[in-house]
Amino acid sequence: MDGKSYVITSGKGGVGKTTTVANIGTGLAKLGRKVVLIDADIGLRNLDVVLGLENRIVYDIVDVVEGNCRLEQALIRDKRYSSLHLLPAAQTRDKTAVEPGQMRELMEELKEDYDYVIVDSPAGIERGFKNAIAGVDEAVVVTTPEVSAVRDADRIIGMLEAEGISGADLIINRVRMDMVKKGDMMNIEDMVEILAVDQLGVIPEDEEIVVSTNRGKPAVLVDKSKAGQAFWNVARRIEGEEVPMLSLEEGFFDKFKEFFGWS
Amino acid sequence: MKNEGVVFKGDLDGVIVNLSDQLEFDTVKEKLQDKLAEAGNFFDEEKINIKVELGTRELNAEQKKELINIFKDKPGLSVLEFINHDDRFSDSETETGNDTLLVKQTLRSGQSISHEGNIVIQGSVNPGAEVIAEGDIIIMGKFKGIAHAGAKGNVEATISAFRLEPTQLRIAHYISRAPDNPLSSPEHPEVAFIKDKHIVIDYLKR
């Protein structure tokens, strides 16, 4: 098998990288793909918690790199999808415990066994980021409709290009359509124009994300979650399906509701 | 020049090298190399024993080797020992060394304590923190992290806590994890031990 590797990154913290990784990974597994998620946020790991797998961790990425265990021993199988695996970060170490060269080797090894290798990058542009982008084929940049997040996303896209990863895809997270319509929130078209990259998805703000994160069950598995639906669409787009962007869908749906007198 | 990171001091037995624990390991390493380079052939003549003071910094084997190699470049120098001054933890019996370690603080995510003997923690252990002891582990607070008692294979080791709500428990080579749907733990101290090749939890009485 010759899989594809992605890094999910943002520069700015708190924009939803880990949530995105958990949801896209689960979505792709639901589509029947073999997926491995790598938490590169050594020292501040979260992906295991968001997936509800924290209590299964025995070995982690640092153990693999240092040769304390075999790679398969550190891979944790998801509770729901047997084709989804997690390689957790170490919590008691820091970013210097792994080197970009080691990450590159790891990626090559994993790509042989999986359709998708997805790396959850830490915030920042330092060593952790350098580790996270080592050996990946493509990048997905997550941002929120805030000037500061877009600024950081721009910086990150530049750094990715400098590392030879061009054509990053953009996910705009935590969008509130009502605010965008009133002009209180950055316009999606404007953001895509500033960043000059392809848009992979628009994820609406959704309280359900808080619930699903705390329960360790990705929103993509929750039917009533709007954000979950949007992540599901992103997963399908990654698989090559043509799925219209949510902004359009919602516009249509709103009209539909008006027509029937709901609101 | 207090914050230089690397300070050489002489004493009767040789030279004490103090490496600041406030700086990144790599930075300290570079500063040490610079200092030794500055010293030129000052240290070349006779045998000088070096003690390296690390403050609260903990080194892994790799890092120790790196430091030793830096000193080895100077023919006269040999490293005698690494000294840690970690005032957060105090040995209740420093003489025997490996008896019981008393920790008077709450362990937070990412913090890890390991000890050759028993460990007593006056405080809680939060999720993401780990406690590793070759003997028993007693937590006088809430335990929500990872504990490994009998880490060198002692199956008689136990883990007890005022509130035992662990992410994972390990005793010798046995591992058990928390159920996925967390049961609320009783308002009662509990103890975990090995019974018939399984880790079991019971009320702490005795």
pLDDT at position B58 is 77
Domain boundaries, chain A: 4-259
Place of tokens 């952790």: A128
User: Rounded to the nearest 5°, which phi and psi values hold at B127?
Assistant: -60, 140
Least-confidence region, from A112-116, A160-164, B37-41, B175-179: B37-41
For an interface test with B, the pick among A41, A92, A94, A102 (most B C-beta atoms closer than 10 Å) comes out as A92
Say if residues A82 and A29 touch (Cβ distance below 8 Å): no
C-alpha angle B158-B161-B166 in degrees, rounded to nearest 5? 85
Contact B180 A55 (CB under 8 A): yes
pLDDT at position B45 is 64
* β A138-143/A169-175 pair status: parallel
Nearest CB to A91; choose among B24, B109, B168:
B109
pLDDT at position A159 is 93
pLDDT at position B175 is 96
pLDDT at position B96 is 41
pLDDT at position B95 is 39
> Whole-angstrom Cα distance, residue A98 to residue A4?
22
**How much is the average pLDDT of A104-127?**
96
Say if residues A81 and A29 touch (Cβ distance below 8 Å): yes
Residue A132 scores a pLDDT above 50 = yes
Interface of A with B in 151-170 (CB under 8 A): none
CA-nearest residue to B109 within chain A is A91
pLDDT at position B184 is 74
CATH node for B94-203 = 2.160.20.70
Least-confidence region, from A25-29, A121-125, A255-259, B152-156: A255-259
For an interface test with B, the pick among A41, A55, A62, A63 (most B C-beta atoms closer than 10 Å) comes out as A55
> Whole-angstrom Cα distance, residue A180 to residue A159?
29
Contact A55 B178 (CB under 8 A): yes
pLDDT tens digits for chain B (206 residues)? Answer: 444 788 887 776 778 888 888 788 888 888 888 888 887 777 766 677 787 888 777 777 788 888 888 877 777 777 767 777 655 554 444 434 468 999 999 999 999 999 999 999 999 999 999 999 999 999 999 999 999 999 999 999 999 999 999 999 999 999 999 888 766 778 899 999 999 999 999 998 86
Count of Cβ atoms closer than 10 Å to residue A126 Cβ: 11
Is A14 annotated in a binding site? The answer is yes
Token pair in block for residue B31: 């500063």
Say if residues A40 and A135 touch (Cβ distance below 8 Å): no
Place of tokens 């052939």: B41
Confidence of residue A150 (pLDDT cuts 50, 70, 90): very high
Domain boundaries, chain B: 6-83, 94-203
pLDDT at position A133 is 97
Say if residues A143 and A173 touch (Cβ distance below 8 Å): yes
Average model confidence (pLDDT) for chain A? 92
Nearest Cα neighbor of B193 from B180, B205, B185, B184 is B205
Q: Quick one: what percent of chain A has pLDDT higher than 90?
A: 85
What fold, for A4-259? Rossmann fold (3.40.50)
3-class DSSP assignment, residue A220: helix
Count of Cβ atoms closer than 10 Å to residue B70 Cβ: 17
- Residue A207 CB contacts under 8 Å (≥ 6 apart), including other chains: none
Would you tell me which CATH number, out of the four given (1.10.1660, 1.10.3210, 3.10.450, 3.30.750), belongs to the domain B6-83? 3.30.750
Say if residues B139 and B117 touch (Cβ distance below 8 Å): no
Over residues A171-211, the pLDDT tens digits come to: 999 999 889 888 889 999 889 988 999 999 999 999 999 99
Please tell me if residue A67 touches chain B, with a CB cutoff of 8 Å: no
Is A13 annotated in a binding site? The answer is yes
Q: Quick one: what percent of chain A has pLDDT higher than 70?
A: 93
